Structure 1
């Protein structure tokens, strides 16, 4: 029997007569990389916001490890081990790379707001911080101020701070957005690496990223599931091709 870590049943969100997410039945298998894709306005980010309770569902149920978490607050869901990349990692620009990761570890230890503690008392966390930074290829910039990092390294730091929270399920919201080709390749490899022994649900627009690392893909269109399966199957689905072509044509027409 398949081990399902996250499941939604008829998940729906309406805003004043507009339905952004409609009856979505999502099943994320433990230990996989599951991608949520779709043209602009398909409801991907709204779906993420519902899963982490930044938005309250209009209807439907969210189950994590078989437990109904639909009524829980964002902090409760984070404590269960559902961590969204930006949730704790809109990085602090004027702190060092190491200090950013240390804040993630402090949250995990429950000493989140003890900023008045002496630096020395936090030094016990430094070895774990360095191990996480080595994992994401940032060990050599541990003492650099975050504001001075290039964009790709900032995204790698976000992943490190997310890992500091020891997520059971990592939600990555467009992790390669705005990146150049080299950074995309680096972050894609990084996601593949940190996925070992974890479950990742990601919203991603870059199809080359999705095709290279996703075990399963759910395609949304107008808030509903259009297709689901491995990339080879989904990419050949005529409905998916039409949905993407339609959005491309609309963009092209808008440009004229």
Structure 2
């Protein structure tokens, strides 16, 4: 179904307070359909809180969240996942001694509610296997399908998390610090991988690495102390004096992509 609104996710006056501390303050985001939208900012800027509000792991103090024009503020995290907003988790450590394929399949079974029905029908698993292999193909892990997850190098473990998210075929995929802790080669691989899985869907990502953001983000929202201080493409935000003062100064090394 095509939706008329060009924005897939919109937040209106989104605010979250913790015991008098305002972590997110009156944030209005507009995320365009089929774009990669990055949320950046210095530590303590409210990026993760914002992310957790959109995925309903936190409830806003005030404000609204719209998904395809519908108010989802009151929906639970599992409800919005069923509706098509799925975040990636660091799932690779959950079943280290199962294969890559089995890890993704369990993620799918949980989502489809068949977790405790392994014995029901081999056909169900075969149908899932096709979806899993398709997702592994998309993230370049097809050759590792029968490898135990524990044996994967770090960068490929992160790819496995993304594969599990892709297998659920979300309309909106949220990635939390997808390149954190990676060496240069893995960063480049995962950046390309995000570009690939973003085809035909919307990606919202919290990311520290400015090189990654400058390479793939269509729109960048910059938070500082819980407030949205700038928004636009990389050129626009990187030349914004407030952003340079708030963020770039402390992120010189990240600008080089380290």
CA contact (8 A) 1:52 1:84 kept: yes
Q: How does the TM-score come out when normalised to structure 2?
A: 0.91
Match of 2:116 among 80, 92, 113: 113
Alignment correspondent of 2:158: 155
Superposition map of 1:47-126 within 5 A: 47-86=50-89, 91-117=94-120, 121-126=124-129
Residue in 2 that maps onto 1:133: 136
1:234 to 237, 251, 254: 237
Q: 2:90–2:158: 8 Å Cα contact kept in structure 1?
A: no
Give the distance between the partners of 1:130 and 1:63, measured in 2 at CA: 33
Q: Deviations over 1:131-155 (max 9, x none)?
A: 2111111111101110111110000
Deviates more, 1:79-88 or 1:67-76: 79-88
1:212 match: 215
Q: State whether residues 5 and 28 of structure 1, in contact with CA within 8 Å, keep that contact through their aligned partners in structure 2.
A: yes
After the TM superposition, which residues 144-223 of structure 1 pair with which residues of structure 2 at under 5 Å, given as runs?
Answer: 144-223=147-226
Tell me the number of residue pairs that the alignment of Structure 1 and Structure 2 aligns.
Answer: 249
Map 1:19-30 → 2, pairs under 5 A: 19-30=22-33
Assess, with a 3 A threshold, how the Cα gap between structure 1 residues 87 and 61 changes in structure 2: closer, same or farther.
Answer: farther
* RMSD of Structure 2 on Structure 1 (CA): 1.9
Question: Could you list the runs of 5+ residues in structure 1 that have no partner in the other structure?
Answer: 250-256
User: Is the 1:88–1:162 Cα contact (8 Å) retained in structure 2?
Assistant: no
Deviation at 1:221, TM superposition (A): 0.2
| Structure-1 separation of matches of 2:91 and 2:68 | 22
Q: Deviations over 1:111-133 (max 9, x none)?
A: 23324446665133222221211
Aligned-residue offset at 1:106: 2.3
Q: Hey, what does 2:246 align to over in structure 1?
A: 243
The answer to whether residue 19 in structure 2 is matched with residue 16 in structure 1 is yes
Is contact 1:108–1:164 with CA below 8 Å preserved after alignment?
no
- Alpha-carbon distance in structure 1 between the residues aligned to 2:199 and 2:166: 12
Q: 2: distance between equivalents of 1:29 and 1:120?
A: 38
Alignment correspondent of 2:255: none
Deviation at 1:246, TM superposition (A): 5.7
Contact 2:107/2:164, CA 8 A, preserved across alignment: yes
What's the secondary structure of 2:11's corresponding residue? strand
Partner Cα distance (2:126, 2:251) in 1:
51
Mapped contact 1:3–1:29 kept (Cα < 8 A): yes
Q: Equivalent residue for 2:256?
A: none
TM-score with structure 1 setting the length: 0.91
